[in-house]
Structure 1
Protein backbone atom coordinates (compact mmCIF):
# COMPACT_ATOMS: atom_id res chain seq x y z
CA UNK A 1 0.00 0.00 0.00
CA UNK A 2 1.24 3.48 -0.86
CA UNK A 3 1.64 5.78 2.11
CA UNK A 4 1.22 9.50 2.44
CA UNK A 5 4.45 11.47 2.26
CA UNK A 6 4.47 15.19 3.02
CA UNK A 7 1.66 17.55 2.05
CA UNK A 8 1.72 16.98 -1.71
CA UNK A 9 -0.26 13.74 -1.86
CA UNK A 10 -3.92 14.72 -2.02
CA UNK A 11 -6.57 16.03 -4.40
CA UNK A 12 -6.28 19.44 -2.75
CA UNK A 13 -2.50 19.71 -3.02
CA UNK A 14 -2.79 19.48 -6.83
CA UNK A 15 -5.36 22.25 -7.19
CA UNK A 16 -3.90 25.36 -8.87
CA UNK A 17 -3.84 28.25 -6.41
CA UNK A 18 -6.26 31.12 -7.06
CA UNK A 19 -4.72 34.26 -5.59
CA UNK A 20 -6.88 37.14 -6.85
CA UNK A 21 -10.68 37.02 -6.86
CA UNK A 22 -11.23 40.79 -6.98
CA UNK A 23 -12.20 40.66 -10.66
CA UNK A 24 -13.68 37.42 -11.91
CA UNK A 25 -12.31 36.71 -15.35
CA UNK A 26 -13.43 33.76 -17.42
CA UNK A 27 -10.08 32.11 -16.69
CA UNK A 28 -10.70 32.38 -12.94
CA UNK A 29 -14.23 31.08 -13.37
CA UNK A 30 -13.02 28.06 -15.33
CA UNK A 31 -10.37 27.31 -12.68
CA UNK A 32 -13.03 27.25 -9.97
CA UNK A 33 -15.31 25.16 -12.17
CA UNK A 34 -12.63 22.55 -12.78
CA UNK A 35 -12.24 22.09 -9.01
CA UNK A 36 -15.97 21.50 -8.70
CA UNK A 37 -16.12 19.01 -11.57
CA UNK A 38 -13.06 17.06 -10.42
CA UNK A 39 -14.49 16.84 -6.89
CA UNK A 40 -17.83 15.53 -8.17
CA UNK A 41 -16.07 12.87 -10.25
CA UNK A 42 -14.69 11.43 -7.02
CA UNK A 43 -18.25 10.85 -5.79
CA UNK A 44 -18.72 8.05 -8.30
CA UNK A 45 -20.96 7.18 -11.25
CA UNK A 46 -24.19 7.44 -9.28
CA UNK A 47 -23.66 11.19 -9.19
CA UNK A 48 -23.61 11.45 -12.98
CA UNK A 49 -26.80 13.54 -12.99
CA UNK A 50 -25.31 16.06 -10.57
CA UNK A 51 -22.12 16.33 -12.63
CA UNK A 52 -24.14 16.57 -15.86
CA UNK A 53 -26.15 19.46 -14.40
CA UNK A 54 -22.94 21.29 -13.46
CA UNK A 55 -21.45 20.60 -16.90
CA UNK A 56 -24.60 22.02 -18.49
CA UNK A 57 -24.40 25.22 -16.48
CA UNK A 58 -20.71 25.65 -17.29
CA UNK A 59 -21.60 25.26 -20.97
CA UNK A 60 -24.29 27.95 -20.68
CA UNK A 61 -21.72 30.40 -19.32
CA UNK A 62 -19.06 29.39 -21.86
CA UNK A 63 -21.51 29.77 -24.77
CA UNK A 64 -22.64 33.19 -23.55
CA UNK A 65 -19.06 34.38 -23.11
CA UNK A 66 -18.21 33.23 -26.62
CA UNK A 67 -21.32 34.65 -28.28
CA UNK A 68 -21.04 38.00 -26.49
CA UNK A 69 -17.25 38.15 -26.92
CA UNK A 70 -16.53 39.12 -23.31
CA UNK A 71 -13.74 38.21 -20.90
CA UNK A 72 -15.35 39.07 -17.54
CA UNK A 73 -18.49 37.68 -15.96
CA UNK A 74 -19.75 41.18 -15.13
CA UNK A 75 -19.72 42.05 -18.83
CA UNK A 76 -21.65 38.87 -19.63
CA UNK A 77 -24.30 39.67 -17.01
CA UNK A 78 -24.59 43.28 -18.17
CA UNK A 79 -24.95 42.41 -21.85
CA UNK A 80 -27.48 39.65 -21.22
CA UNK A 81 -29.51 42.01 -19.04
CA UNK A 82 -29.39 44.70 -21.74
CA UNK A 83 -30.54 42.16 -24.34
CA UNK A 84 -33.28 40.85 -22.00
CA UNK A 85 -31.72 37.39 -22.00
CA UNK A 86 -30.73 37.07 -18.35
CA UNK A 87 -33.88 35.27 -17.17
CA UNK A 88 -33.90 32.69 -19.97
CA UNK A 89 -32.98 29.19 -18.83
CA UNK A 90 -30.35 28.85 -21.58
CA UNK A 91 -28.59 32.09 -20.62
CA UNK A 92 -25.17 32.39 -19.10
CA UNK A 93 -26.76 34.37 -16.27
CA UNK A 94 -28.96 31.45 -15.20
CA UNK A 95 -26.05 29.05 -15.64
CA UNK A 96 -23.87 31.25 -13.43
CA UNK A 97 -26.60 31.53 -10.80
CA UNK A 98 -26.84 27.76 -10.40
CA UNK A 99 -23.09 27.32 -10.49
CA UNK A 100 -22.70 29.86 -7.69
CA UNK A 101 -25.23 27.94 -5.63
CA UNK A 102 -23.35 24.71 -6.31
CA UNK A 103 -20.05 26.36 -5.34
CA UNK A 104 -21.69 27.36 -2.05
CA UNK A 105 -22.65 23.73 -1.54
CA UNK A 106 -19.10 22.60 -2.35
CA UNK A 107 -17.58 25.07 0.10
CA UNK A 108 -19.88 23.97 2.91
CA UNK A 109 -19.23 20.30 2.10
CA UNK A 110 -15.48 20.85 2.29
CA UNK A 111 -15.83 22.82 5.51
CA UNK A 112 -17.88 20.10 7.20
CA UNK A 113 -15.43 17.49 5.91
CA UNK A 114 -12.51 19.45 7.35
CA UNK A 115 -14.22 19.51 10.76
CA UNK A 116 -15.35 15.88 10.71
CA UNK A 117 -14.18 12.88 12.72
CA UNK A 118 -14.36 9.14 12.17
CA UNK A 119 -17.76 9.19 13.91
CA UNK A 120 -19.25 11.18 11.01
CA UNK A 121 -20.57 9.64 7.80
CA UNK A 122 -20.29 11.22 4.36
CA UNK A 123 -24.08 11.32 4.28
CA UNK A 124 -24.11 13.41 7.47
CA UNK A 125 -21.40 15.71 6.15
CA UNK A 126 -23.02 16.35 2.78
CA UNK A 127 -26.62 16.55 4.00
CA UNK A 128 -25.56 19.34 6.38
CA UNK A 129 -24.03 21.24 3.46
CA UNK A 130 -27.08 20.57 1.29
CA UNK A 131 -29.51 21.77 3.96
CA UNK A 132 -27.45 24.95 4.37
CA UNK A 133 -27.31 25.77 0.66
CA UNK A 134 -29.13 24.02 -2.18
CA UNK A 135 -32.21 22.67 -0.43
CA UNK A 136 -33.96 26.08 -0.38
CA UNK A 137 -33.58 26.33 -4.16
CA UNK A 138 -34.86 22.81 -4.95
CA UNK A 139 -38.44 21.61 -5.17
CA UNK A 140 -39.66 18.59 -3.21
CA UNK A 141 -38.86 16.09 -5.99
CA UNK A 142 -35.32 17.42 -6.44
CA UNK A 143 -34.70 17.31 -2.69
CA UNK A 144 -35.96 13.74 -2.47
CA UNK A 145 -33.87 12.62 -5.47
CA UNK A 146 -30.71 14.26 -4.15
CA UNK A 147 -31.07 12.76 -0.70
CA UNK A 148 -31.74 9.36 -2.23
CA UNK A 149 -28.52 9.56 -4.26
CA UNK A 150 -26.58 10.48 -1.13
CA UNK A 151 -27.20 7.03 0.32
CA UNK A 152 -24.82 5.62 -2.30
CA UNK A 153 -21.88 7.68 -1.03
CA UNK A 154 -18.79 5.77 0.09
CA UNK A 155 -17.80 5.64 3.74
CA UNK A 156 -15.90 8.63 5.07
CA UNK A 157 -12.68 6.61 5.35
CA UNK A 158 -13.01 5.42 1.75
CA UNK A 159 -13.75 8.93 0.49
CA UNK A 160 -10.76 10.37 2.32
CA UNK A 161 -8.62 7.67 0.74
CA UNK A 162 -9.99 8.68 -2.68
CA UNK A 163 -9.01 12.27 -1.94
CA UNK A 164 -5.53 10.97 -1.10
CA UNK A 165 -5.30 9.05 -4.40
CA UNK A 166 -5.41 5.72 -2.53
CA UNK A 167 -2.53 6.60 -0.22
CA UNK A 168 -2.82 5.41 3.37
CA UNK A 169 -2.47 7.57 6.47
CA UNK A 170 -3.42 10.83 4.77
CA UNK A 171 -6.43 11.96 6.80
CA UNK A 172 -4.64 14.92 8.37
CA UNK A 173 -3.41 16.16 5.00
CA UNK A 174 -6.85 15.69 3.39
CA UNK A 175 -8.72 17.56 6.12
CA UNK A 176 -6.13 20.34 6.14
CA UNK A 177 -6.33 20.57 2.35
CA UNK A 178 -10.12 20.78 2.49
CA UNK A 179 -9.92 23.65 4.98
CA UNK A 180 -7.40 25.51 2.80
CA UNK A 181 -9.56 24.98 -0.28
CA UNK A 182 -12.51 26.54 1.57
CA UNK A 183 -10.40 29.62 2.32
CA UNK A 184 -9.42 29.89 -1.34
CA UNK A 185 -12.94 29.45 -2.74
CA UNK A 186 -14.89 31.58 -0.25
CA UNK A 187 -13.83 34.96 -1.74
CA UNK A 188 -14.78 33.74 -5.23
CA UNK A 189 -18.21 32.60 -4.07
CA UNK A 190 -18.72 35.89 -2.22
CA UNK A 191 -17.79 37.87 -5.34
CA UNK A 192 -20.13 35.79 -7.50
CA UNK A 193 -22.94 36.32 -5.01
CA UNK A 194 -22.26 40.06 -5.01
CA UNK A 195 -22.49 40.15 -8.81
CA UNK A 196 -25.70 38.12 -8.93
CA UNK A 197 -27.32 40.31 -6.28
CA UNK A 198 -26.27 43.43 -8.18
CA UNK A 199 -28.03 42.15 -11.30
CA UNK A 200 -31.03 40.97 -9.23
CA UNK A 201 -30.58 37.34 -10.21
CA UNK A 202 -30.10 35.94 -6.71
CA UNK A 203 -32.45 36.29 -3.75
CA UNK A 204 -31.33 38.60 -0.96
CA UNK A 205 -32.05 36.02 1.76
Structure 2
Protein backbone atom coordinates (compact mmCIF):
# COMPACT_ATOMS: atom_id res chain seq x y z
CA UNK A 1 0.00 0.00 0.00
CA UNK A 2 1.13 3.54 -0.71
CA UNK A 3 2.26 5.72 2.15
CA UNK A 4 0.25 8.81 3.05
CA UNK A 5 2.89 11.03 1.51
CA UNK A 6 2.81 9.02 -1.73
CA UNK A 7 -0.99 9.17 -1.80
CA UNK A 8 -1.07 12.92 -1.37
CA UNK A 9 1.53 13.18 -4.09
CA UNK A 10 -0.50 10.80 -6.27
CA UNK A 11 -3.60 13.02 -6.19
CA UNK A 12 -1.46 16.12 -6.66
CA UNK A 13 0.05 14.54 -9.76
CA UNK A 14 -3.42 13.98 -11.19
CA UNK A 15 -4.32 17.60 -10.49
CA UNK A 16 -1.05 18.71 -12.11
CA UNK A 17 -1.74 16.55 -15.17
CA UNK A 18 -5.22 18.06 -15.49
CA UNK A 19 -3.82 21.58 -15.35
CA UNK A 20 -1.26 20.65 -18.01
CA UNK A 21 -4.13 19.70 -20.33
CA UNK A 22 -5.48 23.24 -20.24
CA UNK A 23 -3.83 25.75 -22.58
CA UNK A 24 -5.82 28.96 -22.30
CA UNK A 25 -9.22 28.22 -23.83
CA UNK A 26 -7.92 25.02 -25.41
CA UNK A 27 -7.45 21.46 -24.15
CA UNK A 28 -4.44 19.45 -25.33
CA UNK A 29 -5.21 15.99 -26.72
CA UNK A 30 -1.68 14.75 -26.01
CA UNK A 31 -1.82 15.93 -22.40
CA UNK A 32 -5.18 14.22 -21.94
CA UNK A 33 -3.56 10.96 -22.96
CA UNK A 34 -0.80 11.65 -20.44
CA UNK A 35 -3.48 12.23 -17.80
CA UNK A 36 -4.80 8.72 -18.46
CA UNK A 37 -1.43 7.27 -17.46
CA UNK A 38 -1.72 9.04 -14.10
CA UNK A 39 -5.27 7.73 -13.62
CA UNK A 40 -4.48 4.02 -14.19
CA UNK A 41 -3.52 3.29 -10.53
CA UNK A 42 -6.96 4.40 -9.31
CA UNK A 43 -8.47 1.19 -10.71
CA UNK A 44 -6.28 -1.03 -8.53
CA UNK A 45 -6.98 1.23 -5.54
CA UNK A 46 -10.72 0.81 -6.05
CA UNK A 47 -10.98 -2.80 -7.26
CA UNK A 48 -7.73 -4.30 -5.96
CA UNK A 49 -4.85 -5.72 -7.94
CA UNK A 50 -6.33 -8.43 -10.11
CA UNK A 51 -8.18 -9.28 -13.30
CA UNK A 52 -10.92 -6.66 -12.92
CA UNK A 53 -8.68 -3.66 -12.31
CA UNK A 54 -6.26 -4.80 -15.03
CA UNK A 55 -9.15 -5.19 -17.48
CA UNK A 56 -10.52 -1.71 -16.79
CA UNK A 57 -7.07 -0.14 -16.84
CA UNK A 58 -6.26 -1.87 -20.14
CA UNK A 59 -9.52 -0.58 -21.61
CA UNK A 60 -8.56 3.03 -20.86
CA UNK A 61 -4.99 2.41 -21.95
CA UNK A 62 -6.11 0.99 -25.30
CA UNK A 63 -8.35 4.00 -25.97
CA UNK A 64 -5.63 6.52 -25.14
CA UNK A 65 -3.04 4.66 -27.24
CA UNK A 66 -5.37 4.69 -30.24
CA UNK A 67 -5.91 8.42 -29.81
CA UNK A 68 -2.15 8.98 -29.62
CA UNK A 69 -1.62 6.94 -32.77
CA UNK A 70 -4.24 9.00 -34.59
CA UNK A 71 -2.88 12.43 -33.64
CA UNK A 72 0.70 11.41 -34.43
CA UNK A 73 -0.29 11.36 -38.11
CA UNK A 74 -1.40 15.01 -38.13
CA UNK A 75 -0.10 16.56 -34.87
CA UNK A 76 -0.53 20.21 -35.82
CA UNK A 77 -4.08 19.74 -37.10
CA UNK A 78 -5.19 17.78 -34.02
CA UNK A 79 -3.24 19.47 -31.22
CA UNK A 80 -6.33 20.53 -29.27
CA UNK A 81 -9.66 18.79 -28.71
CA UNK A 82 -11.56 21.38 -30.74
CA UNK A 83 -9.05 21.01 -33.59
CA UNK A 84 -9.29 17.20 -33.49
CA UNK A 85 -13.01 17.42 -34.14
CA UNK A 86 -12.88 20.26 -36.63
CA UNK A 87 -10.21 18.48 -38.67
CA UNK A 88 -12.13 15.20 -38.83
CA UNK A 89 -15.50 16.81 -39.49
CA UNK A 90 -13.99 18.50 -42.55
CA UNK A 91 -12.19 15.34 -43.63
CA UNK A 92 -15.25 13.10 -43.96
CA UNK A 93 -18.37 13.44 -46.09
CA UNK A 94 -20.63 12.42 -43.23
CA UNK A 95 -20.67 11.64 -39.52
CA UNK A 96 -21.29 7.98 -40.32
CA UNK A 97 -18.12 7.74 -42.40
CA UNK A 98 -16.18 9.54 -39.68
CA UNK A 99 -17.48 7.09 -37.08
CA UNK A 100 -16.69 4.00 -39.15
CA UNK A 101 -13.04 4.97 -39.66
CA UNK A 102 -11.57 3.94 -36.31
CA UNK A 103 -8.08 5.09 -37.32
CA UNK A 104 -8.98 8.76 -36.78
CA UNK A 105 -9.21 8.30 -33.01
CA UNK A 106 -12.62 9.94 -32.63
CA UNK A 107 -14.43 6.90 -31.22
CA UNK A 108 -11.45 6.04 -29.00
CA UNK A 109 -11.31 9.63 -27.75
CA UNK A 110 -14.99 9.43 -26.86
CA UNK A 111 -14.45 6.33 -24.71
CA UNK A 112 -11.32 7.82 -23.19
CA UNK A 113 -13.26 10.90 -22.17
CA UNK A 114 -16.08 8.79 -20.73
CA UNK A 115 -13.62 6.76 -18.65
CA UNK A 116 -12.03 9.90 -17.23
CA UNK A 117 -15.47 11.37 -16.55
CA UNK A 118 -16.55 8.22 -14.70
CA UNK A 119 -13.50 8.33 -12.40
CA UNK A 120 -13.99 12.04 -11.68
CA UNK A 121 -17.73 11.62 -11.08
CA UNK A 122 -17.14 8.62 -8.82
CA UNK A 123 -14.59 10.44 -6.66
CA UNK A 124 -16.81 13.53 -6.50
CA UNK A 125 -19.80 11.51 -5.33
CA UNK A 126 -17.74 9.45 -2.91
CA UNK A 127 -16.05 12.34 -1.12
CA UNK A 128 -18.09 15.46 -1.85
CA UNK A 129 -21.68 15.34 -3.10
CA UNK A 130 -22.82 11.91 -1.82
CA UNK A 131 -20.55 11.47 1.17
CA UNK A 132 -23.32 9.94 3.30
CA UNK A 133 -23.72 7.07 0.79
CA UNK A 134 -21.44 4.04 0.74
CA UNK A 135 -18.77 3.61 -1.93
CA UNK A 136 -20.73 1.00 -3.89
CA UNK A 137 -23.72 3.35 -4.12
CA UNK A 138 -21.47 6.19 -5.29
CA UNK A 139 -19.84 3.97 -7.91
CA UNK A 140 -23.24 2.73 -9.09
CA UNK A 141 -24.62 6.26 -9.36
CA UNK A 142 -21.53 7.41 -11.26
CA UNK A 143 -21.88 4.45 -13.62
CA UNK A 144 -25.59 5.08 -14.19
CA UNK A 145 -24.92 8.75 -14.84
CA UNK A 146 -21.91 8.43 -17.15
CA UNK A 147 -21.64 5.01 -18.77
CA UNK A 148 -24.75 2.85 -18.45
CA UNK A 149 -26.55 4.39 -21.44
CA UNK A 150 -23.68 3.26 -23.69
CA UNK A 151 -23.58 -0.33 -22.45
CA UNK A 152 -25.60 -3.27 -23.67
CA UNK A 153 -27.09 -5.96 -21.43
CA UNK A 154 -23.97 -8.15 -21.20
CA UNK A 155 -21.61 -5.25 -20.46
CA UNK A 156 -24.00 -3.84 -17.85
CA UNK A 157 -24.16 -7.20 -16.08
CA UNK A 158 -20.37 -7.39 -16.04
CA UNK A 159 -20.12 -3.88 -14.59
CA UNK A 160 -22.68 -4.76 -11.92
CA UNK A 161 -20.43 -7.61 -10.80
CA UNK A 162 -17.44 -5.25 -10.82
CA UNK A 163 -19.24 -2.71 -8.64
CA UNK A 164 -19.80 -5.38 -6.01
CA UNK A 165 -16.02 -5.35 -5.47
CA UNK A 166 -15.86 -1.73 -4.34
CA UNK A 167 -14.26 -1.37 -0.90
CA UNK A 168 -15.41 0.58 2.12
CA UNK A 169 -14.67 4.30 2.11
CA UNK A 170 -12.04 3.74 4.78
CA UNK A 171 -10.23 1.16 2.63
CA UNK A 172 -10.56 3.33 -0.47
CA UNK A 173 -9.10 6.30 1.38
CA UNK A 174 -6.17 4.21 2.55
CA UNK A 175 -5.82 2.73 -0.93
CA UNK A 176 -5.45 6.24 -2.30
CA UNK A 177 -2.73 6.74 0.31
CA UNK A 178 -4.59 9.46 2.19
CA UNK A 179 -4.40 9.63 5.98
CA UNK A 180 -8.05 10.39 6.68
CA UNK A 181 -11.39 10.92 5.01
CA UNK A 182 -11.15 14.62 5.85
CA UNK A 183 -7.85 14.85 4.01
CA UNK A 184 -9.37 12.90 1.12
CA UNK A 185 -12.27 15.38 0.92
CA UNK A 186 -9.88 18.30 0.73
CA UNK A 187 -7.40 16.81 -1.73
CA UNK A 188 -10.00 15.30 -4.05
CA UNK A 189 -12.07 18.50 -4.02
CA UNK A 190 -9.01 20.32 -5.36
CA UNK A 191 -8.75 17.81 -8.22
CA UNK A 192 -12.47 17.98 -8.99
CA UNK A 193 -12.33 21.78 -9.03
CA UNK A 194 -10.03 21.75 -12.06
CA UNK A 195 -11.06 18.45 -13.70
CA UNK A 196 -14.82 18.87 -13.89
CA UNK A 197 -14.87 22.15 -15.90
CA UNK A 198 -12.38 20.59 -18.33
CA UNK A 199 -14.58 17.54 -18.83
CA UNK A 200 -17.62 19.77 -19.31
CA UNK A 201 -15.78 21.73 -21.99
CA UNK A 202 -14.80 18.53 -23.79
CA UNK A 203 -18.41 17.32 -23.62
CA UNK A 204 -19.61 20.58 -25.17
CA UNK A 205 -17.12 20.22 -28.03
CA UNK A 206 -18.23 16.64 -28.68
CA UNK A 207 -21.92 17.61 -28.65
CA UNK A 208 -21.26 20.66 -30.85
CA UNK A 209 -19.89 18.36 -33.55
CA UNK A 210 -22.63 15.74 -33.09
CA UNK A 211 -20.06 13.12 -32.11
CA UNK A 212 -21.46 11.81 -28.82
CA UNK A 213 -22.33 8.54 -30.50
CA UNK A 214 -25.02 6.55 -28.63
CA UNK A 215 -23.81 3.17 -29.93
CA UNK A 216 -23.67 0.54 -27.19
CA UNK A 217 -20.96 -2.00 -26.48
Q: Scaled by the length of structure 1, what TM-score is found? A: 0.83
Query: Please, which of 87, 90, 107 is the counterpart of residue 99 of structure 2?
Result: 87
Distance in 1, Cα, partners of 2:171 & 2:86: 44
Q: Deviations over 1:104-152 (max 9, x none)?
A: 21221011111355x6432112001111111111111111101111112
Distance in 2, Cα, partners of 1:187 & 1:3: 30
Aligned to 2:26: 23
Distance in 2, Cα, partners of 1:200 & 1:110: 28
1:54 equivalent in alignment to 2:60: yes
Aligned to 2:196: 186
1:13 equivalent in alignment to 2:12: yes
Distance in 1, Cα, partners of 2:3 & 2:150: 41
C-alpha contact 2:173 2:181 (8 A) present in aligned 1: yes
Aligned to 1:103: 116
Structure 2: unaligned runs, 5 residues or longer: none
Aligned to 2:81: 73
Q: Deviations over 1:42-73 (max 9, x none)?
A: 23322222211111110121011001233223
The 10-residue stretch of structure 1 (175-184 or 26-35) with the greater mean CA deviation from structure 2:
26-35
Alpha carbons of structure 1 residues 203 and 83: separation in structure 2 relative to 1, 3 Å: closer
Alpha carbons of structure 1 residues 72 and 9: separation in structure 2 relative to 1, 3 Å: closer
Distance in 2, Cα, partners of 1:126 & 1:190: 20
* TM-superposed deviation, 1:16: 4.5
Aligned to 1:130: 143
Q: The residue matched to 2:8 in structure 1 has which SS?
A: coil
More helix per residue: 2
Distance in 2, Cα, partners of 1:52 & 1:3: 25
Distance in 1, Cα, partners of 2:180 & 2:151: 35
The 10-residue stretch of structure 1 (70-79 or 149-158) with the greater mean CA deviation from structure 2:
70-79
C-alpha contact 1:10 1:174 (8 A) present in aligned 2: no
Q: Scaled by the length of structure 2, what TM-score is found? A: 0.78
Q: Deviations over 1:70-113 (max 9, x none)?
A: 32233322333333363034431111111222222122101111
Alpha carbons of structure 1 residues 67 and 3: separation in structure 2 relative to 1, 3 Å: closer
Q: Deviations over 1:17-44 (max 9, x none)?
A: 3174520123432343234323224233
Count of residue pairs brought into register by the alignment: 199
Structure 1: unaligned runs, 5 residues or longer: none
